[in-house]
């Protein structure tokens, strides 16, 4: 009889992620892209402002710029000595007069307050104005440099650029940005049971066959992370085919990502194939859904093997692969944000593993639970707007405060 194999204890998700991030050395090389095309990319060097924003004191309202000393009481009438629009330069404000001014226009020298036009009444076809309120010092004036000072680091290296960051870079005159190189990822699935949509109509599917859903959501998640994806399709359940796919993928990619075949059954060829070409660790992670996960190296490429069940694959990617790929691009803050929320459901069955329960917000502001939490029910991920991160051994009663992670945090 064969000796019994000693099973390794389950690895915590936190420990697994820490080990992966230790191995995620940022990629060498950068790209220069226009600011228009930098959405989703990771900044490779600090963006430093060579100017101040705003460049000069300006009005935050349409109205009238005045000297406060000239408006001792409401009802004061002043002649209008000039009109200042955004983009024009006004003259110094003459004492005893007001300047008609518009949003974004520079404050004329001598003025120390702006009254919005709703507090004023134009007289004599606009040649004079009645001031119906006494202004406070600095009222409705945006000060030069109050947003950005000259020499300030506006965006730090490692920042993942989103629309607000692009606008900020443009506001200091940067039309090009140095960004981290995109990770090159080879993606393939294993399993003779897999069929591509479009190849076989549903009514002609052979017994035991399933459509390859994992390939679609994994590719989409990789693209959202800025990766260059090479889709190698479905690899047959044969050792030689798996070795060939791995060799091909290792030649020009930073990461090889597979779905399925990371167990140790007779038809699971990933483990021996990777070990024949490089190194592999099989991890049993204390998370549900999830658990089987593989990390290794094939040549210069990292290798990661995800479980085949779709929700398990979806969540292990979100919680382990996503942070790894972000760290390869130089991002330091890779953990998704969890926010407190109120459970409007009961979860009386505590599990020994850390659970990720698919939920969505309801009209009352609480969380509803999808009825079937099986790792094969991808409907739960499409129905939900996030997951409850439930600690091992924890039950949930209606009204309990739980930790909610939005899919928006996990998918982009």
| Predicted TM-score of the model (pTM) | 0.86
The answer to whether residue 281 is domain-embedded is yes
Q: What is the CATH number of the domain that holds 70?
A: 2.170.190.11
Q: How confident is the model at residue 233 (pLDDT cuts 50, 70, 90)?
A: confident
**Does residue 268 carry a pLDDT above 90?**
no
The answer to whether residue 132 is domain-embedded is yes
Asked if 372 and 358 touch (Cβ cutoff 8 Å), the reply is no
Q: What is the pLDDT of residue 410?
A: 95
Phi–psi pair at 98, nearest 5 degrees: -120, 155
Asked if 142 and 3 touch (Cβ cutoff 8 Å), the reply is no
- My answer on whether 42 and 77 are in the same domain is no
**Does residue 266 carry a pLDDT above 90?**
no
- Mean pLDDT on 314-332: 97
Question: How many domains would you assign to the chain?
Answer: 4
**Does residue 99 carry a pLDDT above 80?**
yes
Q: What is the pLDDT of residue 409?
A: 95
Q: Report helix, strand or coil for 27.
A: coil
DSSP symbols for 291-330? -EEEEEEETTEEEEEE-SSHHHHHHHIIIIIHHHHHHHTT
The answer to whether residue 3 is domain-embedded is no
**What CA–CA distances, in Å, run from 98 to 61, 72, 112, 252?**
15, 14, 11, 68
Q: What is the CATH number of the domain that holds 203?
A: 3.40.980.10
The answer to whether residue 214 is domain-embedded is yes
CA distance 291 to 307: 8
Query: If we measure between CA atoms, which residue out of 59, 63, 61 comes closest to residue 130?
Result: 63
Query: If we measure between CA atoms, which residue out of 326, 333, 325, 330 comes closest to residue 304?
Result: 325
- My answer on whether 100 and 169 are in the same domain is no
Residue ranges of the alpha helices (H) in 132-194?
A: 163-171
CA distance 311 to 373: 9
- My answer on whether 132 and 227 are in the same domain is no
- My answer on whether 259 and 206 are in the same domain is yes
**Does residue 2 carry a pLDDT above 50?**
no
- Mean pLDDT on 255-273: 75
In our burial notation (b when 16+ CB lie closer than 10 A, e otherwise), range 323-340 reads bbbbbbbbbeebebebee
* Structure tokens that stand for 368 in this block: 């509803």
CA distance 116 to 140: 8
**Does residue 1 carry a pLDDT above 70?**
no
- My answer on whether 246 and 265 are in the same domain is yes
pLDDT in tens, 100-151: 999 999 999 999 999 999 999 999 999 999 999 999 999 999 999 999 999 9
Q: How confident is the model at residue 35 (pLDDT cuts 50, 70, 90)?
A: very high
**Does residue 38 carry a pLDDT above 90?**
yes
- My answer on whether 167 and 228 are in the same domain is no
- Mean of per-residue pLDDT scores for the chain: 93
- Mean pLDDT on 6-25: 90
CA distance 138 to 136: 6
Lowest-pLDDT range of 158-172, 202-216, 330-344, 377-391 = 202-216
Lowest-pLDDT range of 69-78, 189-198, 247-256, 304-313 = 189-198
- Mean pLDDT on 228-236: 90
The residue range of the domain holding 161 is: 30-49+153-180
CA distance 284 to 215: 23
Query: If we measure between CA atoms, which residue out of 127, 129, 131, 141 comes closest to residue 71?
Result: 131
Asked if 110 and 92 touch (Cβ cutoff 8 Å), the reply is yes
The answer to whether residue 147 is domain-embedded is no
**Does residue 24 carry a pLDDT above 70?**
yes
């Amino acid at each position: 009889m064969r000796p019994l194999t000693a099973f390794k204890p389950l690895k915590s998700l936190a420990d697994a992620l820490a080990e992966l991030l230790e191995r995620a050395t940022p990629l060498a090389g950068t790209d220069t892209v226009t600011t228009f095309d930098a959405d989703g990319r990771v900044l490779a060097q600090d963006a430093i402002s060579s100017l101040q924003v705003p460049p000069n004191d300006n009005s935050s309202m349409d109205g009238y710029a005045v000297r406060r000393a000239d408006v001792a009481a409401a009802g004061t009438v002043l002649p209008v000595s000039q009109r200042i629009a955004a983009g024009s330069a006004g003259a110094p404000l003459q004492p005893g007069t007001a300047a008609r001014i518009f949003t974004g226009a520079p404050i004329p020298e001598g003025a120390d307050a702006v009254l919005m036009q709703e507090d004023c009444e134009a007289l004599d076809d606009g040649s004079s104005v009645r001031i119906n309120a006494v202004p406070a010092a600095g009222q409705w004036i945006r000060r030069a440099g109050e947003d950005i000072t000259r020499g300030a680091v506006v965006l730090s290296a490692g920042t993942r650029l989103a629309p607000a960051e692009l606008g900020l870079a443009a506001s200091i005159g940067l039309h090009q940005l140095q960004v981290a190189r995109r990770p090159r990822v080879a993606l393939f699935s294993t399993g003779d049971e897999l069929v591509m949509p479009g190849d076989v109509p549903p009514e002609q599917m052979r017994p035991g066959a399933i459509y390859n859903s994992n390939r679609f959501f994994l590719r989409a998640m990789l693209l959202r992370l800025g990766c260059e994806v090479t889709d190698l399709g479905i690899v047959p359940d044969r050792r030689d085919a798996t070795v060939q796919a791995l060799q091909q993928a290792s030649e020009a990619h930073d990461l090889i990502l597979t779905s399925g075949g990371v167990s140790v059954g007779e038809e699971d060829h990933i483990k021996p194939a990777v070990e024949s070409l490089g190194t592999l660790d099989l991890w049993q992670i204390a998370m549900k859904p999830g658990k089987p996960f593989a990390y290794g190296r094939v040549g210069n490429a990292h290798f990661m093997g995800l479980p085949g069940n779709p929700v398990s694959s979806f969540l292990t990617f979100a919680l382990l692969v996503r942070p790894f790929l972000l760290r390869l691009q130089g991002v330091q803050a890779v953990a998704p944000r969890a926010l407190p929320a109120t459970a409007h459901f009961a979860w009386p069955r505590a599990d020994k593993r850390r659970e990720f329960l698919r939920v969505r917000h309801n009209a009352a502001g609480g969380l509803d639970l999808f009825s079937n939490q099986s790792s094969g029910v991808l409907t739960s991920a499409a129905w939900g707007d996030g997951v409850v991160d439930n600690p091992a051994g924890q039950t949930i009663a209606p009204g309990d405060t739980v930790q909610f992670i939005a899919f928006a945090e996990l998918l982009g």
